[in-house]
Amino acid sequence: MYSFGENVSLVDIETTWTFDNYARIFKPEIMTLLWRTVWISLVATVVCLIVGFPVALVIATASPAAKAWLLLLIMLPFWTNLLIRTYSLLNILGTRGRLNELLGWLWLRCNDFLSFIGAGELGLLGEKFVPIKFLGTPSGVVLGIIYVSLPFAILPLYSSLERMDRSYLEASMDLGAGQMQTFFRILVPLAMPGILTAFIITFIPALGQFLIPDLLGRGQVDMVANVIQRQFKGANDWPFGSALSLMLLYVTFILLALRAFGDAAKARRESIR
Amino acid sequence: MTDNPIVSIRHVSKYFGKFAALEDVSLDIHAGEIFALLGPSGCGKSTLLRILSGFETPSEGELLLDNKDLVPLKPNKRPINMVFQSYAVFPHMTVEDNVAYGLKMEGVSKSEITSRVNEALEQVHLTGLGQRKPNQLSGGQRQRVALARVLVKKPRLLLLDEPLSALDAKLRDAMRLELVKLQESVGITFVIVTHDQSEAMAIADRIAVLNDGKLRQLATPAELYQRPVDAFVADFVGKIHCFDVASASIENELIQVTSSTLPPLSLPPSVMSSALHSLPVASSGGVQQTQQSIGRQPRSQTDAIGRLDSASGKLVLAIRPEHISASLSEPASADVSLLGSIGDIAFQGQHSILEIVIDGKPSLTAIVENAAAQALHNAGFGSPVWAYWTASDMLLLPENASNGSN
């Protein structure tokens, strides 16, 4: 309701059925924000799927006892508060954090190796190790989102791989296909429903991420949710905040509807043939 | 059929942890035959099939295809293809794509793929359905797709895992005949795994009966039925009645058998199971030694007596229902006759099956002509009836040949 209203005083909002709040969404700075939100979420989701798929495959093919432990391992982060997890990421991703420590070590080893094979003089890896700046950059936000959403991506992938009849894979091997061919021609297509579910279940919450861009983005990598929050608090512009939130909701609905349409179209195509 | 085996399985064992799924199985499969692996569930027949296809490696033993070691070859490198029990027709591909899949993996040219796929679809009578998806096909059609998919590869060996078990009874009978015809026309060696003895008998040229991971008998269907090696095989390949044997010995080239339920009998040596010839013999020193087969006639009578006596606790006398006759009056001259009462009579079309109750329990079934069945029916339920048969139709079998030999 607020989204169709106007601020008439500091605390009062009158519903005037204006579309101004929606029109403001199409201003360039907001469009940039939306676009950044989408691509950060998209990159994070795709990485989650690529990383999550092999993990899910390992769990699905593990022995029953190992399966239980691996699933527990996947669930374990859920038992820790999101805030604590994100703060711990600050420690890992910082300029002098653990990840940069590791990269620095790798850089040294690689350089050693390069000098060992006689390419040390070329300075292929630069003069000295420059720590990568994760915090306050999109890469940090993407890494943070990957970290929190990975379990959500793994679980639907796991359940679709778990249910899959192993004889499809054996039939493929039996017919002369190698591991890779079986993976891309049989396993991935058959797991497609699970992949779609994993995509939606990762992508939609990623769109609405607030805490991670706030902490890991250091306020320099805003996503929609951060702006919405500011509209409600700092900017005291509830109507525009409402419009933005509803926008996010619409995107979600559209995505879900697209998927439902896709399923229906597929079913229709097959019944016509 | 050549004498050169296409596949040689030599002393193959497979252990899953401590469980022995297969124990020391040796058999040869000849080129161009339909070979059946028959046994109850859990007998190891599927494990053997998976070893042939390459999804399991034998724990011990050798596996040769055309005299070349097969064990190190991965499933996708073996000229052996399999029709899975669930068919495993890829649901996201059309029928044509399913059939073409194996050829694409081989890197066959496109034009050749098209012609070979069409040929294979024709062989299994699926012409015109190439564009369908598997979920638009019936179970029987899906099986044909699975068949076409492997036939198109022209494998050296085609494995079928319980090919008919998922079909309904009528389709199953039709498919049986079709499989045999198909095999004759393509000339590929088939290995069929089944738990259904009638299926194996109807389709196969030779049958290997497995139980508890051991090969019990390898024979033609007729041989398996008429000369089973032990009571397990005899019972598995068809209905048979068994009587416990109290003692058995050989005198004057006749086998003297006593039993708690039958009168003392003198039987010709031909009733003896081939397994009995190689039973361990108690020598004078009391040391057990295994005597190799010495043919039908025992080498010496004392040997034979020792042999049968040592196994007498595990021997049974068996008779098949079709050898049992039934009569309302006491038969004048019959080797064996037992008095019982009439139980149920089941009409089967060309003949009837009579149940004979002895000591209050239904204990014998006899197959009788319909005219005789009418007379028995008129006599009524519970009337006295004699079951009789010729002694030479009986079989003297160890209860379990492979256990008896150790």
Question: Does A183 reside within a domain?
Answer: yes
Interface test with B, best of A175, A266, A270, A272 (most B CBs within 10 A): A175
pLDDT (average), residues A134-158 = 88
Helix B169-186 and helix B139-151: axis angle, to 10°?
10
Q: Is A269 on the interface with B (CB under 8 A)?
A: no
Q: How confident is the model at residue B378 (pLDDT cuts 50, 70, 90)?
A: confident
pLDDT tens digits for range A236-261: 778 888 888 888 888 888 888 888 88
Binary contact (B101, A177; C-beta < 8 A): yes
pTM above 0.80, yes or no: no
Strand ranges for B212-264 from DSSP E: 214-219, 241-244, 247-251, 254-258
Q: Which has the closest alpha carbon to B59: B71, B68, B49, B70? A: B71
Q: At which residue do the structure tokens 């769990």 appear? A: A59
What type of residue is A87? Y
Q: Is A175 on the interface with B (CB under 8 A)?
A: yes
**What was the pLDDT predicted at B80?**
93
Of A12-16, A39-43, B253-257, the one with minimum mean pLDDT is A12-16
pLDDT tens digits for range A86-98: 888 888 887 777 8
Binary contact (A175, B105; C-beta < 8 A): yes
- What percent of chain B has a predicted confidence (pLDDT) above 70? 89
Q: Is A29 on the interface with B (CB under 8 A)?
A: no
Q: Is B281 helix (H, G, I), strand (E, B) or coil?
A: strand
Question: Is the pLDDT assigned to residue B12 strictly greater than 50?
Answer: yes
Total residue count of chain A as it appears in this document: 273
Here the tokens at position A123 are: 């300075």
**What was the pLDDT predicted at B292?**
39
Which residues in chain A have their CB less than 8 angstroms from residue B91's CB?
190
Which residues in chain A have their CB less than 8 angstroms from residue B105's CB?
175-178, 181
Q: How would you classify the pairing of strands B34-38 and B19-30?
A: unpaired
Question: Is the pLDDT assigned to residue B404 strictly greater than 90?
Answer: no
pLDDT tens digits for range B100-155: 999 999 889 999 999 999 999 999 999 889 899 998 998 889 999 999 999 999 99
**What was the pLDDT predicted at B405?**
38
**What was the pLDDT predicted at B298?**
42
Q: How confident is the model at residue B295 (pLDDT cuts 50, 70, 90)?
A: very low
Question: Does A119 reside within a domain?
Answer: no
**What was the pLDDT predicted at B13?**
93
**How many domains does chain A contain in total?**
1
Which residues in chain B have their CB less than 8 angstroms from residue A177's CB?
76, 101, 105
Question: Does A271 reside within a domain?
Answer: no
Rounded to whole angstroms, how far apart are CA atoms B5 and B392?
36
Of A3-17, A220-234, B63-77, B161-175, the one with minimum mean pLDDT is A3-17
Query: In chain A, whose CA is at the least distance from the CA of B75?
Result: A174
pLDDT (average), residues B29-39 = 93
Binary contact (A175, B149; C-beta < 8 A): yes
Binary contact (A173, B74; C-beta < 8 A): yes
Q: Is A177 helix (H, G, I), strand (E, B) or coil?
A: coil
- What percent of chain A has a predicted confidence (pLDDT) above 70? 93
Binary contact (B153, A176; C-beta < 8 A): yes
Rounded to whole angstroms, how far apart are CA atoms A134 and A43?
15
Of A101-110, A139-148, A163-172, B251-260, the one with minimum mean pLDDT is B251-260
Domains of chain B, with CATH numbers?
5-227 (3.40.50.300), 228-406 (2.40.50.100)
Question: Does A191 reside within a domain?
Answer: yes
How near does any CA of chain A get to the CA of B12, in Å? 21
Question: Does A272 reside within a domain?
Answer: no
Which range of residues forms the domain containing residue A149?
Answer: 2-95+133-265
How near does any CA of chain A get to the CA of B18, in Å? 17
Q: A241: domain CATH number?
A: 1.10.3720.10
**What was the pLDDT predicted at B281?**
43
Q: Which helix (H) or strand (E) holds B189?
A: strand B189-194
pLDDT (average), residues B59-71 = 90
3-state helix, strand, coil in chain B (%, to 5): 35, 35, 35
